[in-house]
Amino acid sequence: MKKVLLFSLAAMMLVLSTACKKDEPAPAAGNNNSNTNTGVEVQGDITSSTTWTASKKYTIKGFVYVKSGATLTIEPGTVILGDKDSKGTLIIERGATINAAGTSAQPIVFTSAQAKGSRNYGDWGGIIICGKAPVNLPGGEGVIEGGVNVSFGGTDPADNSGTLKYVRIEFGGIAFQPNNEINGLTLGGVGSGTTIDHIQVSYSGDDAFEWFGGTVNAKYLISHRNWDDDFDTDNGFIGKVQFGLILRDPNVADQSGSNGFESDNDGQGTDATPFTAPVFSNVSVFGPLKTSTTTVDANYRRAAHIRRNSRTSIYNSLLTGFPTGLLVDGSKCETNATNGTLKIQKSILAGCATNFAVASGSTWDLAAWFNTTAFTNTTLADYTTLSITDAFTLNAPVLLPGTGSVLLSGGDFTQAPLNDAFFTAVTYRGAFGTENWTSGWANFDPQNTEY
């Protein structure tokens, strides 16, 4: 959770007016999005509907704003580079639309402009989308973090900011100021009319995905080797998410404490409405601890940290390999759990150094709550019991559970939050059954990919 702060335009980096430099078109990219064309430099504001084509390569320089009323369309197979010196960032403002619909064979890739082998966390900013859906900030809106001086939130839960589908976001995530960073993908007040589907965020210098309020739903999300938190939910986010994969690098974590899930109602844990109450199902969290003796960065914390009056629910999921498995933090969250507005059910906790934690001084029995018979949760001592070949080879993970794995059964979609047309009812727990939905479009070794 980061504070939502106001910044004036004078405090930002100078953004130049739009300029373009074109070379001869190259052939459309294939699955690896290889493209030799140096293409087009993009700066400043996009004020009318624009299409970026796969025959060109685009470089984002500075803060690039898609203004209200404009649509940015990006063709399948297009490569977009983020400039390192200016910390290039793409911002979709309220009332603007992005139509970035890649395919499994031709994903759209946002990545570092640095050569392969030289890319790093925070080489550029990331993607920020702001919408008009409700948030729980005073006055019903706020200014999105990252220093871009753009507002988010409103009164339209069905607001449509467009489509992100089969998109990779690599080597973004920067700290504009302490506690005010740009994430890999930031979603502020984004409405349920928006499509978020098959998105991979890799090597972000901050969070992978952060939702500030809004109602947008999402499927098939990958958080790969990111710096801070993976799925961060704040300020009244009430969307639904199914099929998520989290893979952590044991050597990389943030000084603020890196978690798989992190969730707050707001920064002060108030009763502001709408409450942060997302519903997650079929998420696999592979933390840094492959075994109890794995050496990991000391800043690693929890597979799930639910705090500050959040009402997050997690179903049919796998939480594994963190120093602490689950922290339900604070008396308000404990009350939410006891009252059934905060739920973790049909899920597996495995291979964590400590399974459960509560706030200092609390006497609430989190283990007893988690192990309530009706919740049908499972606690396992180590990762090997899951019968997954190797999720910890981070540049080539083997993710499917083997025959007889406890993950292949126990999935349940009969309860009210999951008995919804958005969710795909499956019998397995975690992100995968017998099909690897990352195949074809995901890239687990972007450092060595020629773009």
Strands 89-92 and 97-101: unpaired
Going by pLDDT thresholds of 50, 70 and 90, the confidence category of residue 35 is very low
Range 255-280 average pLDDT: 97
Q: Which amino acid is at 416?
A: A
- d(C-alpha 190, C-alpha 207), whole Å: 17
pLDDT at position 181, please?
Answer: 85
Structure tokens at 372: 């309530």
Neighbours of 118 (CB within 10 A): 10
Tell me the two tokens of residue 18: 């739009």
- Spell out the alpha helix ranges (H) of 241-326: none
Residues 192-203 have pLDDT tens digits of 999 999 999 999
**Burial 288-327, CB ≥16 within 10 A → b, else e:** bbbeeeeebeeebbbbbbbbbbbbbbbbbbbbbbbbbbbb
Residues in the chain: 451
Mean pLDDT along residues 289-316: 97
How crowded is residue 17: how many other Cβ atoms within 10 Å of its Cβ? 7
Q: Please state, for a pLDDT cut of 70, what percent of the chain lies above it.
A: 91
> Rounded distance, CA 34 to CA 450, Å?
6
Residue 4 is predicted with a pLDDT of 44
Q: Are 250 and 322 in contact (CB under 8 A)?
A: no
Handedness of CA 255, 261, 266, 270 (dihedral sign): negative
pLDDT, the chain, mean: 92
CB atoms within 10 A of CB 41: 18
What does the longest C-alpha to C-alpha distance in the chain come to?
68
Structure tokens at 190: 């984004």
Could you tell me which residues are beta bridge partners of residue 151? 143
- Whole-angstrom distance, CA of residue 124 vs CA of residue 81: 8
What's the CA gap between 141 and 381, in Å, rounded? 44
| pLDDT for residue 175 | 78
Predicted confidence (pLDDT) at residue 27 exceeds the cutoff of 70: no
Give the Cα separation of 370 and 145 in Å (integer).
34
Say whether pLDDT at 140 is over 50.
Answer: yes
R_g of the chain computed on alpha carbons = 21
Q: Rounded to 5 degrees, what angle do the CA atoms 110, 394, 165 make?
A: 35
The amino acid at 234: D
Counting beta carbons within 10 angstroms of the beta carbon of residue 100, is it exposed (0 to 12), middle (13 to 18) or buried (19 or more)? buried
Strand partners, 127: 90, 185
pLDDT in tens, 163-207: 999 999 999 999 776 667 899 999 999 999 999 999 999 999 999
pLDDT score for 38? 65
What is the CATH architecture assignment of 14-446?
Answer: 3 Solenoid (2.160)
pLDDT value, residue 178: 66
Please choose, from the candidates 270, 218, 222, 210, the residue with its C-alpha nearest in 3D space to the C-alpha of residue 241: 218
pLDDT for residue 341 is more than 80? yes
Average pLDDT over every residue of 398-411: 97
Task: Name the residue type at position 427.
Answer: T
At 156, list the tokens.
């339209």
- Between 13-22, 105-114, 240-249, 438-447, the lowest mean confidence (pLDDT) is in 13-22
Tell me the average pLDDT across 4-27. 36
Residue 319: beta bridge partners? 285, 349
